[in-house]
Homo-oligomer: A and B are copies of this chain.
Amino acid sequence: MATLKDISAELGLSVATVSRALNGFPEVSARTRARVQDVADRIGYKPNRIAQRLVTGRSGMVGFIAKLNADMTADQTFLEILTGLTAALAERDVDLVLSVDQHDDPVTVYERMLERGILDGFILNAPVPNDPRVAFLQARGIPFVMHGQSDPEVHYPFYGIDNRAVSRDAVSLLATLGHRRIALLNGDINFSFAIDREEGFREAVAQEGLNTPEAFIGHETPSESYGYTEALAMLSGRRGAQPTAIVCGSTLIAAGVMRAAKDLGLSVPSDLSLIAHDDALPQFRAVNFDPPLTVTRSPLRDACSPLANHLIDHIAGGEADTLQTQIRAELIVRESTGPVPKGGTDPWP
C-alpha cells in the first residue's frame, strides 16, 4: 500500500507538501502539484482513510438504526430507504453502519453505537412527536438528519413531504368531484406523519364544509387486512353512514379497501372513489391496481439522496436551519377517483 511518504521520498518533498498537493491546497505551485499527482497516479496511491480519520476526527461513517415493530418485522419502507441511502452515501464516500433495534427504549441503541466513537452522525426515520432521539442527540451535540419532521417547528436538518398537504390535496380533489362523505384510513397514529395527515384531513373537510363522523377516521399500522376489514365495516353500513370516497394512508391499505369493495359488489370509481398515498415502493405499484390508483405520490427513494447530503453537509459544519427541505407530494389523478355516485350527496340520515 503506497503512502504519502513513498511519494515524498521519490520526489524529495516533504509529506506535508505532498498532502497539500493532493488535497488541492492553493499554496502549492502548479508544477509541484503536477509532479506529485503524476507519481501518485503511477504508484496507485489511495489515502489511508483510517489515518485520515484519526487526525481529522471524522470517520466518514454514519449510523442508521432500524426499529422493529412489536411483531418483530421492520416496516416495508425500511429496505427501500436503506438501498437508496447506501447508494447516496457512497457517492460522497461515506459508509453506513447499521443496527437493528430490538429494545424498548428508543435511545439505548444510539447510546451504544456512540460509545464506539466511530460515527459522525445518524440518519433517523419514523419520527414521533417530541421524539426522544432528538433530545438525546441534540444534548450530545451529535449531528443527524431526520426523514420527516417530529414536530411542526424543529431545529435540525430534515427532508420530508408536507403531510398536511397530502390530505388536503386528496380531500380537495374528492370535494371537487362532489364527494361529501369522505373517510380516512390512516397509518399508525403514533408517528408524526400520520398525525399530520389526520390534521390536514380534518382541516380540509372542515374547510369544505363536510360532515365527517369520527367513525370515518381510522388509523393503524398499514396492512392489506386493515384496509379490508375497516372498509368492509364502513361500506357495509354497519357503522351508520357509508362513505363515497376513502383516503388511504398507503397503497397497501388501498389494496384491502379494493378487495372489500369487490366483495360488496361495489365498483371503483363508480360506487367508491379511492385515493392513496404512494411511497412508490417497487414491490407494490399503484399503476398496477385495477383500476390504476389516484395517488399523492412521493417516492421514498427520492428522499435518500437529500437525506445523505443534508447529513454530510451538516457534519461538515452546515447550519441546521439551512438544511431543511419540505417538498409537496405530487397528486396524480388516475382512474380510482370519479364523480360522486347518485345518492352520495344525500343529507345525513
Contacts and interface: CB of A to CB of B under 8 A. Distances in A.
Contacts of A117: 1, 46, 48-50
Interface stretch (A13-21, A73-81, A235-243, A260-268): A73-81
Interface in A103-124: 112-113, 115-118
Contacts of A138: none
Interface string A56-79: 000111000010100111100011
A82 interface: yes
Contacts of A99: 86, 90, 95-96
A311 to B, nearest CB: 16
A51 interface: yes
A82 B78 CA distance: 12
Given A50-B117, A115-B44, A117-B46, A102 B87 contact: yes
Interface residues of A, number: 41
Main SS class of interface, A = mixed
A96 B97 contact: yes
A35 to B, nearest CB: 22
A54 B49 CA distance: 9
Given A46-B117, A49-B116, A82 B95 contact: no
A97 B48 contact: no
Contacts of A83: 66, 68, 72, 74, 100, 102
Contacts of A74: 79, 83
The 7 closest A-B pairs by CB, nearest first: A83-B100, A98-B98, A72-B282, A46-B115, A86-B99, A50-B53, A86-B100
